[in-house]
Chain A
Amino acid sequence: MASPALIAETTTRSRSAPVTTPKRPGQRARERRRNLWIYAFLMPTFVLYGMYTLYPIVASYWYSLVEWNGFSSEQRFVGLENYEAVLADPLFWSSVRITLVFMLIVAPLRVFGAFFLAILLNSPKLPFTSFFRTAYFLPVVTTTAIVGVVMRFIFDPASGPTAAVFGFLGLGPVDLLGSSETALATAGVVYVWKFFGITLIYWLAALQTIPRDLYEAARIDGAGALGLFRHITLPMLIPFLLIITVLTIEDCFHAFDLMQTMTAGGPFFSTEIIEIYIYRWAFAASIPQLGFASAAAVLFGVIVLLVVIAQVWATVISRRMRSAQGKAGAA
């Protein structure tokens, strides 16, 4: 839940933080004591983050270079063989494609769908807004894995409610999650439904940052509802569009919980995102291939990194353009 704005802000220091001043003798001892406190405060993060985030990142590289088929058995160094094997596996490429296609389906639906709903729910004229917000937010708080299982049930071609709807429409039995043509799209719809509320809250938060007097002033100048939207709401929300898109896309890489419980990657691997591919080779196979799975994991990390870099780069560019515009406007 962090925004690029946050990242940029955190790496540059503000004036309010204490700044080191020229040192007097007593001060050096005090500073040393202060630094001891600082490192003590960092200790829990050093230990936990080191063990469970930093070490795994480094270790993944090592594991990807060995042949290793279980947590107790021996590891044999094989160089880049695992990478060759992963890159030669059509199912790996299919999982890369599915992960990216999934992202391209669900991210725009979440970002723009939630945008329109947020605009409606933000209107002071609409009644029951808090009820609507609660209803649309409800799937977010519910446990993903349970939603996944319940959805299998809801889309059950024999007895689920969707089957009843299809029957009523005269479309006959359709197995939405069980057919490889429709499974990914159906899973995408469920995923959007499940996490739509978060994006909605992002947009509602963004809408609240627009000062009300801007609207007042424009209304006095004779702007209509559409004019207010085009000339105030939209321009003020553009910076948030980037942040919310980054957050949402990053979210799409964590679809394991829902996908594993709803389709487990099937039918015929048609919903096998990369996380399920890794899981299958590392934990679900009768003879686990941990080196092979690690190589896939490293490649997955590279793909995520590339997507994030591209987005942050786009954010920085657009920010520069905005500040240039601002200067031109002020001059």
Chain B
Amino acid sequence: MRRKLPWWILTAALAVLAFVWVFPFIWMVSASLKTSGEIFAGGLGLIPEALQWENYSRAWEDGNFKVYLLNTVIVTVATTVIVVVRCALSGYVLGRYRFPGSRIILGILVATLFVPTGYTIIPIVKLSLELGLLDQLGGMILALGGAANVASILIYAGYFRGMPAELEEAAIVDGAGFLRVFTQIMLPLSMPVTATVGILTFLFTWNALFLPLVFSFSNPALRTVSVGMQAFVGENSTDWPGMAAAGVISLLPVVVLFAFMQRYFVEGIAGAVKA
């Protein structure tokens, strides 16, 4: 005899857990539409008495979140492009060819796979300062796009190595050169990896705090939303509704993006672990 699990109990339990899981976000959205007094009166109440939309205009204008959001978009998109391009290029040659030094390069890359940001941050700042890059978004982008990302190279290398050799042999017989083989055959075929690497880099960069924080010390105009949020709380320590509104403004783009690209987000991460 087989015992049946009561699925509806399980479903209800999972639903309660899911509500607890997303509660902080719901609460933040509700707080962003309340007055300070209402929040301070506390409680778990989620419905504001009257919708305080001016919290948003305050965060957007006075809190400078329009600048921070733009910075974040620029930094994230540029970093993602840099990482995808350089990892695809080097992953291709490392995965597919044996050449003088290839094993040494792979060995060095693998050895530095787990280097933490806390370890490299001081020399990165010193170097950027000497190159005059510390006060520019460009410097932040180069540092984010240049540091680590070894995993992405290895994912590309593994994928390109697994492709059948006949593909490029046929193209070479047809007279295609090295560059043509890569751009017209290999690159289009590697779209799944490009999606994975692109999505992971996007997420990682959008979320980054350590590097953007240190790079924008001397120039507040370079703050990303992560850093701006920190500053906002520090400078306006009593403006809880404004802070909640700033939080919603900063989270909204990435949550909307996630909603639209959910399948690719999840598959991207799943793909990376299966690789």
Q: Which residues of A contact B (CB under 8 A)?
A: 1-3, 6-7, 9-11, 13-14, 16-20, 33-35, 37-38, 41-42, 44-45, 47-49, 51-57, 59-60, 63, 71, 120-121, 125-128, 131-147, 149-154, 158-161, 163-165, 193, 198, 201-202, 204-206, 208-209, 224-225, 240, 243-244, 247, 250, 253-254, 256-257, 260-261, 274-275, 278-279, 282-283, 290, 293-294, 297-298, 300-301, 304-305, 308
A-contact 0/1 string along B168-210, CB 8 Å cutoff: 1000000000110010000000000000000010010011111
Q: Is B270 an interface residue (CB 8 A)?
A: yes
Closest to A193 in B: B21
Which listed residue (B21, B98, B200, B257) contacts A17, Cβ 8 A? B98
Mark out the residues of chain B between 245 and 275 whose CB falls within 8 Å of any chain A CB in the assembled complex: 247, 250-251, 254-255, 257-258, 262, 265-266, 269-275
Tell me the bound Cα distance from A125 to B4 in angstroms: 11
The reply to whether A51 and B146 form a contact with Cβ atoms under 8 Å apart is yes
Sampled A-B contacts (8; CB under 8 Å): A11-B103, A41-B90, A142-B25, A150-B247, A154-B24, A159-B240, A257-B226, A297-B119
The reply to whether A278 and B118 form a contact with Cβ atoms under 8 Å apart is yes
Closest to B46 in A: A161
Residues of B within 8 A of A151 (CB): 24
Given A1-B273, A247-B273, decide whether A254 and B117 contact each other with a Cβ distance below 8 A: yes
Residues of B within 8 A of A120 (CB): 10, 14
Q: Is B77 an interface residue (CB 8 A)?
A: no
The reply to whether B165 and A45 form a contact with Cβ atoms under 8 Å apart is no
Tell me the bound Cα distance from A137 to B262 in angstroms: 10
The reply to whether B155 and A6 form a contact with Cβ atoms under 8 Å apart is yes
Q: How far in angstroms is the closest Cβ of chain A from B11?
A: 6
Given A120-B14, A145-B230, A201-B266, decide whether A297 and B273 contact each other with a Cβ distance below 8 A: no
Residues of B within 8 A of A161 (CB): 23, 27, 42-44
The reply to whether A53 and B115 form a contact with Cβ atoms under 8 Å apart is yes
Residues of A within 8 A of B92 (CB): 41
**SS class, residues of chain A in contact with chain B:** helix
Closest to A144 in B: B207
Which listed residue (A147, A205, A261, A293) contacts B122, Cβ 8 A? A293
Which listed residue (A1, A52, A54, A275) contacts B200, Cβ 8 A? A1
Closest to A131 in B: B18
Residues of B within 8 A of A135 (CB): 18, 21-22
Given A14-B161, A138-B22, decide whether A146 and B247 contact each other with a Cβ distance below 8 A: yes
Residues of B within 8 A of A225 (CB): 2, 5
Mark out the residues of chain B between 7 and 52 whose CB falls within 8 Å of any chain A CB in the assembled complex: 7, 10-11, 14-15, 18, 21-25, 27-28, 31, 39-44
The reply to whether B123 and A17 form a contact with Cβ atoms under 8 Å apart is no
Interface contacts (Cβ under 8 Å), in number, total: 333
By size class, the interface of chain B is: 35 or more
Tell me the bound Cα distance from A133 to B142 in angstroms: 34
Which listed residue (A18, A204, A256, A297) contacts B165, Cβ 8 A? A18
Q: Is B121 an interface residue (CB 8 A)?
A: yes
Given A18-B165, A136-B18, A145-B207, decide whether A274 and B118 contact each other with a Cβ distance below 8 A: yes
Tell me the bound Cα distance from A53 to B143 in angstroms: 9
The reply to whether A44 and B85 form a contact with Cβ atoms under 8 Å apart is yes
Tell me the bound Cα distance from A44 to B127 in angstroms: 18
Q: Is B75 an interface residue (CB 8 A)?
A: no
Residues of B within 8 A of A37 (CB): 93, 178-179
Tell me the bound Cα distance from A126 to B8 in angstroms: 8
The reply to whether B273 and A3 form a contact with Cβ atoms under 8 Å apart is yes
Tell me the bound Cα distance from A283 to B162 in angstroms: 45
Which listed residue (B31, B85, B161) contacts A13, Cβ 8 A? B161
Q: Which of B103, B123, B213, B225 has the most CB of A within 10 A?
A: B123
The reply to whether B158 and A10 form a contact with Cβ atoms under 8 Å apart is yes
The reply to whether B230 and A53 form a contact with Cβ atoms under 8 Å apart is no
The reply to whether B115 and A141 form a contact with Cβ atoms under 8 Å apart is no
Q: How far in angstroms is the closest Cβ of chain B from A84?
A: 19
The reply to whether A17 and B161 form a contact with Cβ atoms under 8 Å apart is yes
Q: How far in angstroms is the closest Cβ of chain A from B44?
A: 5
Which listed residue (A38, A193, A198) contacts B269, Cβ 8 A? A198
Q: Which of B114, B164, B178 has the most CB of A within 10 A?
A: B114
Q: How far in angstroms is the closest Cβ of chain B from A1?
A: 4
The reply to whether A163 and B42 form a contact with Cβ atoms under 8 Å apart is yes
Tell me the bound Cα distance from A243 to B273 in angstroms: 8
Mark out the residues of chain B between 120 and 166 whose CB falls within 8 Å of any chain A CB in the assembled complex: 120-127, 129, 142-143, 145-151, 153-155, 157-158, 161-165
Q: How far in angstroms is the closest Cβ of chain B from A194?
A: 10
Residues of B within 8 A of A260 (CB): 209-210, 213
The reply to whether A282 and B122 form a contact with Cβ atoms under 8 Å apart is yes
